[in-house]
């Protein structure tokens, strides 16, 4: 399920099928501005494996606004161009510090999942993660009611936090 709120399989409520075109039109008007991020620290490689889940229509609007170009994350013919834009957008709006030092992030790519786009990022190796700070302004350039939720797993220990606009920094592990 997208962000725990949008069904990942067909759902019937009354006469509305969430896979119908009417549902697609309704999803374009969704009032919820939310992103969800999973961050896993792998002790084996010492990297942060990051996946960000965002509403596709919001991400396309953010790319259009940021880069002043048409954005279509669903078109296979535009996948390479969208990858380039997403890489730049993520670099501008998502930063990490581990143990007080900036973390180098490597953009891996994205995929569509119904109403969501999932962006994948991995960090350069981090030795012995003790403190993790996340600077997250995803969609802040678009919405003043944006909420960014982060779930972090380090050494099997899970912690979650959220940033509500205009908050930009979360200290997850200390």
- Write the pLDDT tens digit of every residue in 150-169: 999 998 899 999 999 999 99
> How many CB atoms lie under 10 A from the CB of residue 141?
14
Q: pLDDT, tens digit, for every residue of 20-52?
A: 333 344 445 668 899 999 999 988 899 999 999
**Considering only CA atoms, which of 111, 87, 95 is closest in space to residue 48?**
95
pTM score: 0.82
Task: Report d(CA 3, CA 76) in Å as an integer.
Answer: 24
Residue 8: predicted pLDDT: 39
Structure tokens at 81: 């161009």
pLDDT over threshold 90, residue 137? yes
Domain ranges of the chain: 31-173
Task: Report d(CA 120, CA 79) in Å as an integer.
Answer: 14
């Amino acid at each position: 399920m997208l962000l725990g709120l949008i069904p990942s399989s067909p759902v019937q409520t009354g006469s509305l099928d969430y896979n119908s075109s009417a549902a697609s039109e309704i999803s374009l008007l969704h009032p919820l501005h939310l992103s969800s991020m999973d961050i896993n620290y792998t002790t084996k490689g010492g990297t942060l494996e990051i996946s960000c889940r965002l509403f596709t229509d919001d991400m396309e609007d953010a790319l259009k606004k940021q880069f002043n170009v048409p954005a279509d994350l669903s078109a296979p013919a535009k996948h390479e161009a969208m990858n380039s834009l997403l890489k730049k957008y993520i670099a501008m709006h998502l930063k990490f510090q581990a143990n007080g030092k900036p973390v180098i992030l490597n953009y891996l790519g994205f995929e569509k999942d119904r109403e969501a786009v999932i962006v994948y990022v991995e960090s350069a190796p981090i030795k012995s993660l003790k403190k993790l700070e996340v600077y997250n302004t995803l969609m802040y350039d678009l919405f003043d009611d944006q909420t960014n939720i982060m779930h972090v797993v380090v050494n099997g220990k899970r912690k979650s936090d959220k940033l509500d606009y205009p908050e930009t920094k979360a200290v997850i592990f200390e």
